[in-house]
Chains A and B, each alone.
Chain A
């Protein structure tokens, strides 16, 4: 079952940074934080993941607090195509049990 809490929805102006928060206060030491998004009923798309350190890739940055109880996904320059539901997930990612349990996510709307 999902072990994260996220705001139900957020708006962001096009071209501005979108900061999506996630609380995972019961995360254990060997659990990763994953972010996925789902654009209008397409298959979920992997964005980024991290364990302890902040991470950055071509899509986004992931900031994880020092106590690992919360994180923020940052889309540096949001575009209209970033409108989607964003899911924050914690998982141990073990062999054969990589199961990702999706919560309700945050519906991000990028406004022109």
Chain B
């Protein structure tokens, strides 16, 4: 079983559209994250979320919003997509204890045309 799974794996869409990327983890972790990896391969954290708090990287536009229906899911909604949103988005999860490692999903390649 895949520990952290993301869907879809690839997403091609037009500018201005609204899209969602789903993430599910079956590890029983209580904290989930979204990262963005741009064309220069820099991995940047976007959000971290557990059932108590959402921490947002201040550089993330408010067009991006995480939504968590339950502890095992953290979906990423993106409104009014722009060309610069094209990137690979990675979901991850961890246990909220010091020293816990992260488990990453395999990524969603988003292309905005």
Query: Which residues of A come within 8 Å of B, CB atoms?
Result: 30, 32, 34, 36, 38, 41-46, 49, 51, 85, 87, 92-102, 104
A110 → chain B closest CB, angstroms: 19
- Assuming the contacts A96-B55, A96-B96, asked whether A43 and B106 have C-beta atoms less than 8 A apart, the reply is yes
- Assuming the contacts A42-B106, A44-B104, asked whether A102 and B98 have C-beta atoms less than 8 A apart, the reply is no
- Chain A residues with Cβ below 8 Å from B37 are 41
B49 → chain A closest CB, angstroms: 9
B113 → chain A closest CB, angstroms: 20
Assembly CA distance A37 to B14 (angstroms): 32
- Chain A residues with Cβ below 8 Å from B96 are 95-96, 98
A102, B43: Cβ atoms under 8 Å? yes
- Chain A residues with Cβ below 8 Å from B103 are 46
> Taking the complex as formed, is B53 at the interface, i.e. its CB lies under 8 A from any CB of chain A?
yes
Can you name 17 extra interface pairs (CB under 8 A) apart from A43-B106, A102-B35?
A30-B98, A32-B99, A34-B101, A38-B43, A41-B88, A41-B107, A42-B107, A43-B92, A44-B43, A44-B92, A44-B102, A46-B101, A46-B103, A95-B96, A96-B96, A99-B33, A104-B42
| Chain A residue at minimum C-beta to C-beta distance from B103 | A46
> How many residues on the B side are at the interface (Cβ–Cβ under 8 A)?
31
| Chain B residue at minimum C-beta to C-beta distance from A44 | B104
- Chain A residues with Cβ below 8 Å from B52 are 96
- Chain A residues with Cβ below 8 Å from B94 are 98
Assembly CA distance A98 to B50 (angstroms): 11
Assembly CA distance A109 to B103 (angstroms): 24
Assembly CA distance A98 to B93 (angstroms): 10
A96, B31: Cβ atoms under 8 Å? yes
What are 17 sample pairs from A and B whose C-beta atoms fall under 8 A apart? A30-B98, A32-B98, A34-B101, A42-B107, A43-B106, A44-B90, A44-B104, A46-B101, A46-B103, A85-B41, A93-B97, A96-B55, A97-B55, A98-B100, A100-B102, A102-B35, A102-B44
